[in-house]
Amino acid sequence: HFFTPAAVTDLVEVIKGESTSPEVFERGVAFVQSLGKTPLRVQRDIPGFSMNRILNAALREAVDLVAEGIASPEDLDVGLRLAYGCKRGLFEIADYAGLDTCVLVRQSLIDLGEQALVSRSDLIEGMVSKGYLGRKMGKGFYRYTPEGKRIP
């Protein structure tokens, strides 16, 4: 599983399927390494991919905090950067991935019976319905220039 955008993201999940032999799995790992990328060895296939599930769990809580009026997206992103050394905050990541993509991931988890993994809030769905898709459309949790740079 290549992360978006694949050209600049170094991590690739190599997922061992139920019938994948150890040799084929290691060939996948070697292929990812030959591309100059770092393989994340995932020992069995799960809905939502391992890194996306971790991100989704954190984003679920962050979206609920915003929807409940506890904190702003910007304050939470600053907090994550300063408290934990994150390169980007959760809302910056969501804007970068695309809020429409976040909605699709949420719906696929619901369809798979994984309701516990999704936010209680429809905040992002509401934003998408108003055309707030994130960086690619110039507006999401933040505003962006046509070149994709965040406007302070």
Catalytic option among 13, 26, 114, 125 = 13
Amino acid at position 146, single letter: P
Q: Which single residue is written with the structure tokens 């993994």? A: 117
| Residue burial 9-42, b: 16+ Cβ < 10 Å; e: rest | eeebbbbbeeebeeeebeebbeebeeeebebbeb
Look up 18 and say whether it is catalytic: no
Residue type, 72: S
Q: Which amino acid is at 113?
A: G
Active-site residues: which are they?
Answer: 13
